[in-house]
């Protein structure tokens, strides 16, 4: 190749790079990392959002499942990704609890990420086996206090949302309920249906059909607002434990340092998607409540959740398997 040809080639490559950088975001595919296996609640929320974002932005959105260590492996991947808006993350409650459960956390949830939008929340329902002679939260508290160490509550693994919901309940009531960890929601449900354990803070989506078929008794919902799918069911706070709140939630995040204009654009599209009538109905049918918050609201929510659950984990002595 002649020097003149090489000079022209270098100039063309430079021009192409400058042109690509000058294109408005997004100029190419977007990757959404989901730090859990396919098929779970966080994955479902990520795929629903990803599909609608692709339509709204006019660019492909690819879901990348990076499971492991209660979500820490996938979260670390995003924390170290380029700050260009092309690697995002949909995560849930484990995002703020895992760093307090592990001696050597792989990321800082408040420093390593930018909050884009709180997408939805999915409360648990306090359910008991029909053989347990309690029909309200107050009766459950009294029954558990009279029988320290006898009431077993199932969790879908140590550090899971159902586990920590129970630990919060236990620390606030002063009861000595005992957590029994199972390897996933399915085995935990099998345990309570068989009477192996008597209580569970069960995800609403899986609890609804079991409640409706009278295989389990519902006492209350763990969010501060009643669940649209079961409007007659009181919240735990309404039922006697004022201020109690524990929910799975789904949020969209980006690596710290991502430009504000990109974050604002993604927030605008996400809020519009989550507040649409279609998404509200889909969330309701899955036992969730669509939100679609501002960046500021989500950031404050993350801060409050991190502090709250760090305290609960320390006071309860909760650990991972």
**Segment (H or E) for 218:** strand 217-221
Residue 171 CB burial class (10 angstroms; 0-12, 13-18, ≥19) = middle
DSSP-assigned letter for residue 257: T
Among 5-19, 72-86, 113-127, the range scoring the smallest mean pLDDT is 5-19
**8: Cβ contacts below 8 Å, ≥ 6 apart:** none
215 pLDDT above the threshold of 90: yes
Distance between CA 200 and CA 152 in Å, rounded?
8
> E strands within 15-145?
30-34, 61-65, 87-91, 113-128
Q: What is the mean pLDDT of residues 17-41?
A: 81
Distance between CA 191 and CA 129 in Å, rounded?
10
Q: Which two tokens stand for residue 68?
A: 């492991």
Q: What is the pLDDT of residue 20?
A: 43
Q: 15-41 burial string, b = 16+ CB within 10 Å, else e?
A: eeeeeeeeeebbeeebbbbbbbeeebb
**Phi and psi (nearest 5°) for 129?**
-65, 140
Task: Work out the pLDDT band at 39, boundaries 50, 70, 90.
Answer: confident
* pTM (predicted TM-score): 0.86
DSSP-assigned letter for residue 174: T
Task: Work out the pLDDT band at 27, boundaries 50, 70, 90.
Answer: very high
How confident is the model over 70-96, as pLDDT tens digits? 899 999 999 999 999 999 999 999 999
239 pLDDT above the threshold of 50: yes
Question: Which residues are 251's β-sheet partners?
Answer: 91, 118
CA distance readout (Å), 299 to 115, 251, 273: 5, 10, 19
Complete domains list, the chain, with CATH? 29-122+247-316 (3.40.190.150), 125-221 (3.40.190.10)
Given a contact cutoff of 8 angstroms between Cβ atoms, the answer to whether 320 and 108 are in contact is no
DSSP-assigned letter for residue 159: T
Q: What is the pLDDT of residue 4?
A: 56
Q: What is the mean pLDDT of residues 46-57?
A: 96
């Amino acid at each position: 190749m002649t020097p003149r040809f090489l000079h022209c080639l270098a100039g063309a490559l430079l021009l192409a790079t400058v042109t690509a950088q000058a294109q408005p975001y997004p100029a190419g595919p977007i990757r959404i990392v989901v730090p859990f296996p396919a098929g779970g609640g966080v994955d479902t929320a990520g795929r629903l959002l990803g599909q609608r974002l692709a339509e709204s932005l006019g660019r492909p959105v690819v879901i990348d499942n990076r499971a492991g260590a209660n979500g820490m492996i996938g979260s670390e991947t995003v924390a170290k990704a380029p700050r260009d808006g092309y690697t995002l993350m949909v995560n849930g409650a484990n995002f703020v609890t895992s760093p307090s459960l592990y001696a050597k956390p792989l990321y800082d949830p408040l420093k390593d990420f930018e909050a884009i939008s709180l997408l939805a929340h999915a409360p648990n329902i306090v359910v008991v086996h029909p053989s347990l002679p309690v029909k309200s939260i107050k009766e459950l508290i009294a029954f558990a206090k009279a029988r320290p160490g006898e009431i077993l509550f199932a969790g879908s693994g140590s550090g899971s949302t159902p586990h920590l919901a129970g630990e919060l309940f236990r620390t606030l009531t002063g009861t000595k309920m005992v957590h029994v960890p199972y390897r996933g929601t399915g085995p935990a449900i099998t345990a309570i249906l068989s009477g192996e354990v008597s209580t569970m803070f069960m995800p609403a989506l899986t609890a609804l059909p079991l409640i409706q078929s009278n295989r389990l008794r519902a006492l209350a919902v763990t969010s501060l607002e009643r669940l649209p799918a079961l409007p007659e069911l009181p919240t735990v706070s309404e039922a006697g434990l004022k201020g109690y709140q524990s929910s799975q939630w789904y949020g969209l995040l980006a690596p710290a340092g991502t430009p504000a204009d990109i974050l604002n654009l993604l927030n605008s599209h996400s809020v519009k998607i989550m507040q649409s009538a279609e998404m509200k109905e889909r969330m309701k049918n899955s036992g969730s409540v669509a939100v679609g918050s501002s960046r500021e609201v989500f950031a404050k929510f993350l801060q409050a959740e991190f502090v709250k659950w760090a305290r609960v984990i320390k006071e309860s002595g909760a650990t991972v398997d």
